[in-house]
Amino acid sequence: MYTYIIRRILMLFPVLFGVSIFIFIVMRIVPGDVAMTILGTDATPEALEQLRKDFGLNLPLYEQYFNWIGGVLTGDFGESMRTGQEVLPDILNRFKLTFELTFLSALISWFIAIPLGIIAAMKRNSNVDFGVRIISLLGVSVPNFALATVIILILALAFSYSPPVGYVGFFADPLKNLEIMIIPAVVLGTSMAGAVMRMTRSSILEILRQDFIRTIRAKGAKERIVIFQHALRNAMIPILTIIGLQIGTLLGGTVIIEQIFSLPGLGQLVLTSITQRDFIVVQGAVLFIAFVFVMINLLVDILYSYLDPRISYK
């Protein structure tokens, strides 16, 4: 197991190396000029040229790449071309917000989705089941910006709510922090819940059809034990897959929600840096997001092997 984890971590390097080349090339191909966005369209050609030279953009591509990746390997992600701010601390800072938002949303979605999914499976074709299927269909198909808009509208009309501006860390002021985060988390959580609910319902139904459930019933097990100890545990494997994907995606930045609620998260950083052609920031952030995604995958794989004795890694 431990050798497996170490091997997986070593495999990070080729993956991230590939990602770094890919994003580096993409950033050179997209049209637009960082010098132009900084100095404006009426800057003199000389000034633009000078700025490009300062950023090292006149060097051959491979040299630019190695300068960047060499820094990254030593933990120096470079500085933002626009703000001069160091990239890595900025990413980590914003990641805190994204991380909190992701897990808060995930928690909310599990609290809604898993119990409802179980009830729907147990009372198949009942009104509850029908309701759950409609909610999960809506959850899967309504984009979260639409949901966000509706929720903000309702809250604004009912409680004259307006999305708070700025962000306060949880440890700095927990109450204030939650006040800022709760609505975006509810929006994201609700939209995540659809897929989890649907997966919970269908995997539990699938498991309940299996022979071994009949064996457990034949032993004299109460329905509670059949469902929670056996069916749910077996159903957790596909549910975990969905949850892992959702979290992996959200940790990469919840761009739209961050934009709507003006939260300075990772998604917002990537978005603004792209519009301003701030190569260094985009490259660093994408590399970081890829790293997080791979780590979440690894975590999910490790959890699989805890849940299912048939899965063992060597």
Partner 1 sequence: MMSTLLDIKDLSVDVTIDKQEFNVVNNLSLRIDKKQKYGIVGESGSGKSLTSLSILNLLPDVLHVSNGHIMLDQTINLTKLSKKEMLNIRGNEISIIFQEPMTALDPLFTIEHQISEVLKFHEKYTKKEMKQLIIDMLDKVGFSRPKQILKSYPHQLSGGMRQRVMIAMALICKPKLLIADEPTTALDVTIQAQILDLMNALTEDYDTSILMITHDLGVIAETCERVAVMYAGTLVEEASVQELFKNPTHPYSVGLLDSVKSLGDRTKKLYSIPGNVPTPAQLNESGCRFASRCSHVMDICRKQDPPQFVINDDHKSKCWLYKDGGKKNNEHYQHTIESK
Interacting residue ranges for partner 1, rule: CB under 8 A? 210-212, 214-222, 225, 230, 233-234, 307-310
Rounded to whole angstroms, the Cα distance separating 264 from 258 reads 7
Choose between 34 and 122: whose C-beta lies nearer to partner 1. Answer: 122
Distances from the Cα of 112 to the Cαs of 109, 223, 236, in angstroms? 5, 22, 16
**Residue (188 or 207) nearer to partner 1, CB:** 207
Instruction: Give the residue with the Cβ less far from partner 1, 84 or 310.
Output: 310
Smallest distance, Å, CB 229 to partner 1? Answer: 8
Buried b (16+ CB within 10 A) or exposed e, 254-293: bbbbbbbbebbbbbbbbbebbebbbbbbbbbbbbbbbebb
Q: Which tokens is 282 given? A: 């985009």
Q: Could you tell me the smallest distance in angstroms from the CB atom of residue 310 to partner 1? A: 5
Q: Which is nearer to partner 1, 33 or 223 (CB)?
A: 223
Q: How far is the CB of 299 from partner 1 (least distance, A)?
A: 20
Q: How far is the CB of 234 from partner 1 (least distance, A)?
A: 6
Residue 230 or 277: the one with the smaller Cβ distance to partner 1 is: 230
Q: From CA 268, how far away is CA 282, in angstroms rounded? A: 11
Q: Shortest approach of partner 1 to residue 292 CB, angstroms?
A: 29
153 close to 162: Cβ distance less than 8 angstroms: no
